[in-house]
Amino acid sequence: MSVNLQTPIVYLKGVGPNRAETLQSELGIQTFQDLLNLFPNRYIDKTQYYKIGQLQRSNADVQVVGKIIHIKTVEQKKGKRLVASFVDETGEMELVWFRSQKWIRENLKINEPYVVFGKCNWFNGKFSMPHPEMELLKDHQAGLKIAMQPIYPSTEKLGNKGITNRVISKLLQHLFLETKGMFLETLSPKLLHELNLLPKNKALFNIHFPKNQDLLAKAQFRLKFEELFYIQLQLISKKMSRKQKIKGLNFDQVGDLFNDFYQNHLPFELTNAQKNVIKEIRADLGSNAQMNRLLQGDVGSGKTIVAVMTMLLAIDNGFQACLMAPTEILANQHYNGIKELLKGTDITCALLTGSIKKSARKPIHEQLENGELQILIGTHALLEDKVQFNNLGLAIVDEQHRFGVAQRSKLWHKGSTTTGEIRGAIPPHVLVMTATPIPRTLAMSLYGDLDISVIDELPPGRKPIKTVHRFDSNRLKVFRFIRDEIKKGRQIYIVYPLIQESEALDYKDLMDGYESIVRDFPLPDYQISIVHGKMKPADKDYEMERFVKGETQIMVATTVIEVGVNVPNASVMIIESAERFGLSQLHQLRGRVGRGADQSFCILMTGHKLSSEAKTRLETMVKTNDGFEIAEVDLKLRGPGDLMGTQQSGILNLKIADIVKDNAILKSARYYAIQILKDDPMLEKPENRAIRHAYTQLLKHKNIWNYIS
C-alpha cells in the first residue's frame, strides 16, 4: 500500500493493533504525521566533544573535555554551593554542586583532564553545568561510546507496555525509511533564503536524528518558526477576510447624543489614552467593515466611559446597543454606573439578569423588539431566544475569556435586519473589554484576529496604590494602622484565600481571622461585615450593601469580591496568606481600592516560609502597579495555559514552540505572515504555492490547529 503522512499509525512496521491503541490513548498518535510531530523533549549527546567556546544556548546535554583549576564554596540565601572553574584552551565555564559537596570536594582532582557531561545553563555571562557526570579522560577513553540520543515524552503506561524511548526512536527510523524521508516543503523559497532556514526534510531528520548541536539548533528554529508562522497566518488572514467580507454597519453620524454627552455630561476630562481609543473605535465604526476590537485597560482605567460613548455612537446612528457581563454583580455594577452617567439624558436603558422576575421581563422584551429600549445590559440572560432586538448595532462583551465561542456567536446573530430575518443580516460591531492585562506575546496569539486598543493611564486625581509586604509577626502594627484609617472615616477590606480543595480549612482560616478581628475591633465602636461562599445570596447581598452604604467599616471576605464591588471610600486592602494567591488575582484584588481621591494601601500578609516563586510574586506587587508588567511576570512564572483560566488551559497546545521562550521567533513569524498576506492575500502567486498548499492541508486536517479558542 502507498503511504503518506495521513496513513494510520497501525500500518507502520513495528506498530500493530495493540501498540497503535496505546500510542493513541497515551500520546494522541493516530497517523504517520502525528508520530513525525512527536518532538523530543531533550537530547543526550555523547557523540561529540565540545570546546567551551563552541557551546550554544540550546538546552541540550553536552560533553566537554577540560581541567579544573580552582574550587570554591559560595554562600547563598539557603545553604551553600560548590563551584569549580573548568577550563580548556577556548574558555572557562563553571561546574556547580548543591548536594554531597564534602565528598565531591575531597574526590576532585585539580589540573587533571576530565570529560564532563550534562545540561548547560547560561548564567551571569558564562555557561555553568549543575551536577555534571564526570570521568577522568583516561578512564573515559577506555570505555564505550554512545551516540547523540533524543529523549521523547513518555508515560507510565507506555513504559509498562514496553514502548520505551528506544522503541519510539526505532519506529521513527521505519517512518523515515517507508516515506523515503521525502516531506513536502511548506515554506516559500524567499522565506527559506531570507531567514536562512533548513529545508523541511533536513529539519525533520535533524530534530529526530541530530547529526550535531549546530544542526539541532537550526532544525528547532526552523520548526518553531513554521509552527508560529501558520498560527499567525491563520489569525491574520481571518482578520483581513473579515474586514473585506463581513460588511459592517456604517455609523457615519457623530450625532447630538454623543456631542451633548461629551460637552455637558462627562464627569471628568478624558485621559489621552481614552481619547485615542475612542478615535480608533470611531475609525472602525465608519469603515464599512465590522469592528472586532479588544479593549484592554487596567482596573479603574475608565473602560466604562469608553463603552458608553461607543453606545452613544450606535444610538446616534439609529441602532441599539447591549453589554454582556459574566456575573450578576458585574452586570448590576455596569447598569448602575451607566445609569448614573446617562442621568439627565433621554436614553432608555434596562437590566436583564437571571434573577429579574418574569413579570418585569415582559415589558423589556417588548420595548427591545419595538426599538423603544436603546441599551440593554445583562448576563448570559441576553442570549435567550426570547431576547429579540429591533436593530442591534453594537455588542460589548466584558471579560470575554469567561464566555465560550458559541455564546459569543449567539450574540452576534442577534444582528440587525430590517425584515426581522436573521439570515444574511449584517452583524453588530463587537467591542470586547478586559481588565485582565494580557501580555503582548499572548495577545498576539490568542487575539491576533482582533484589533487591540489599550488604556494605559489612570484618570487624573487617582493616586497610585501603595503596596507593602508584612509578615504575620507585624500584625499588631497593621491593626494600629487600620484603626488610624478608620478614624479618618475610611473603610477596609480583609481578604482570605479560597482554594476549592481545602474548603474546610479555608473556612476555618476565615472564621478564625474574623473572630480575632472582632476581638480587636469590638462593638459598638466598629461594625464588621463578612461575606463568603457558604452564605445564601440574599445574606451576601445584605452584607455587601451595608459596606457599600458605609454602615460597616471592615469587610472580611473570601475572594468573592475580586470582581465587581466599587466602594470609593475603601482605602485599605489587606490580603491574608498572600503567598497563596496568583499574581493576576492579587492585582485584581488590589484594584478594589484606590477608587477615590484618597491615598490607598494594599498590605500583603504572609508567614516567614515562602517559596522563591511566591517571593517573586510579592516583590513584583510591591514594585509595580502596571498590570501589563505584572502579566508579563505571571506569564513567565505560570506559562500561557494557566494564565487564561481553566476552561482555556489547553489554549495553545503547541508541538514545539514555547510562546514565552520563543517570543522573538513569534514576532518574526507574525511580521512575515503580515508581509506575505499584504502582498498576496489569497496566496495565489507561484512563489507562495508551498505555503498555500500547506495552509489548505492544515485547515482540512485541523490536526495542528486544534488550538485557538
Question: In Å, how far are 37, 61, 202, 216, 705 from 32, measured between CA atoms?
Answer: 9, 28, 17, 22, 17
For residue 219 the three cell numbers come to 532544525
CA-CA distance, 546 to 544, in Å (whole number)? Answer: 5
Quickly list H helices, 429-536.
440-446, 475-487, 503-520
At 121, which amino acid appears? N
pLDDT at 640: 59
Q: Quote the mean pLDDT of the chain.
A: 85
Span of 338-347, 448-457, 561-570, 621-630 with lowest mean pLDDT: 561-570
Report pLDDT digits (tens) over 439-488: 766 776 767 777 888 888 877 777 889 999 999 999 999 999 999 999 99
What element of type H or E holds 700? helix 689-701
> CB pairs under 8 A, 24+ apart, for 134-143?
134/95, 136/109, 136/112, 137/65, 137/112, 137/113, 138/113, 140/115
What element of type H or E holds 434? strand 429-434
CA-CA distance, 359 to 364, in Å (whole number)? Answer: 10
Average pLDDT rounded to a whole number, residues 154-166: 86
Average pLDDT rounded to a whole number, residues 171-188: 92
pLDDT surpassing 50 at residue 645: no
Listed residue (562, 556, 494) closest to 528, CA to CA: 556
pLDDT band of residue 327 (cuts 50, 70, 90) is: confident
For residue 183 the three cell numbers come to 516531506
CA-CA distance, 480 to 476, in Å (whole number)? Answer: 6
pLDDT at 674: 93
Checking DSSP bridges between strand 121-123 and strand 126-130, what pairing results, if any? antiparallel
For residue 551 the three cell numbers come to 454602615
Question: In Å, how far are 79, 165, 172, 488, 643 from 169, measured between CA atoms?
Answer: 41, 6, 5, 71, 34
Q: Give the CA radius of gyration of the chain.
A: 30
CA-CA distance, 332 to 565, in Å (whole number)? Answer: 10
By the 8 A CB rule, do 60 and 42 touch? yes
pLDDT surpassing 60 at residue 618: yes
For residue 156 the three cell numbers come to 507510565
More confident residue, 122 or 643: 122
pLDDT band of residue 29 (cuts 50, 70, 90) is: very high
Average pLDDT rounded to a whole number, residues 292-320: 90
CA-CA distance, 401 to 343, in Å (whole number)? Answer: 31
pLDDT band of residue 408 (cuts 50, 70, 90) is: low
Neighbours of 169 (CB within 10 A): 16
At 115, which amino acid appears? V
Checking DSSP bridges between strand 292-297 and strand 429-434, what pairing results, if any? parallel
For residue 128 the three cell numbers come to 555553568
Average pLDDT rounded to a whole number, residues 163-179: 91
Average pLDDT rounded to a whole number, residues 565-586: 87
- For the chain, list the domains and their CATH numbers: 1-46+150-177 (no CATH), 48-144 (2.40.50.140), 256-455 (3.40.50.300), 466-624 (3.40.50.300)
pLDDT at 709: 30
Question: In Å, how far are 199, 247, 667 from 84, measured between CA atoms?
Answer: 41, 67, 39
CA-CA distance, 662 to 415, in Å (whole number)? Answer: 40
Listed residue (677, 277, 668, 695) closest to 441, CA to CA: 668
Distance of CA 590 to the CA centre of its chain: 20
Average pLDDT rounded to a whole number, residues 79-86: 92
Report pLDDT digits (tens) over 209-243: 888 888 999 999 999 999 999 989 988 888 888 77
Q: What percent of the chain has pLDDT over 70?
A: 90
More confident residue, 47 or 248: 248
Checking DSSP bridges between strand 451-455 and strand 601-606, what pairing results, if any? unpaired
Strand partners, 36: none
pLDDT surpassing 80 at residue 708: no
More confident residue, 700 or 28: 28
Q: What share of the chain is helix, strand, coil (3-state, %, to 5)?
A: 45, 20, 35
By the 8 A CB rule, do 378 and 352 touch? yes
At 592, which amino acid appears? R
Strand partners, 126: 123
Instruction: Say what angle helices 689-701 and 213-245 make with each other, to 10 degrees.
Output: 80
Strand partners, 426: 416
pLDDT surpassing 90 at residue 509: no
pLDDT band of residue 628 (cuts 50, 70, 90) is: confident
Location of C-alpha cell 478581628: 517
Task: Give, as one character, the DSSP assignment of residue 465.
Answer: P
pLDDT at 648: 36
pLDDT at 499: 53
Neighbours of 10 (CB within 10 A): 16
CA-CA distance, 333 to 300, in Å (whole number)? Answer: 13
pLDDT at 511: 85
Tell me, letter by letter, the H, E, C secondary structure of 524-574.
CCCCEEEECCCCCHHHHHHHHHHHHCCCCCEEEECHHHCCCCCCCCEEEEE
pLDDT surpassing 70 at residue 1: no
Cα dihedral angle (272, 274, 276, 279), rounded to 10 degrees?
-140
CA-CA distance, 363 to 482, in Å (whole number)? Answer: 48
More confident residue, 245 or 365: 365
Location of C-alpha cell 471592615: 554
What element of type H or E holds 680? none
Average pLDDT rounded to a whole number, residues 387-416: 78
At 611, which amino acid appears? S
Q: What percent of the chain has pLDDT over 90?
A: 46
At 178, which amino acid appears? E
pLDDT at 701: 61
Length in residues, the chain: 709
Q: DSSP for 111-159, please give it.
A: TSEEEEEEE-EEETTEEEEES-EEEEHHHHHHS-----EEE----HHHH
pLDDT surpassing 80 at residue 418: no
By the 8 A CB rule, do 242 and 449 touch? yes
pLDDT at 297: 84
Question: In Å, how far are 249, 287, 371, 421 from 417, measured between CA atoms?
Answer: 11, 19, 12, 6
CA-CA distance, 707 to 446, in Å (whole number)? Answer: 9
Average pLDDT rounded to a whole number, residues 513-531: 91
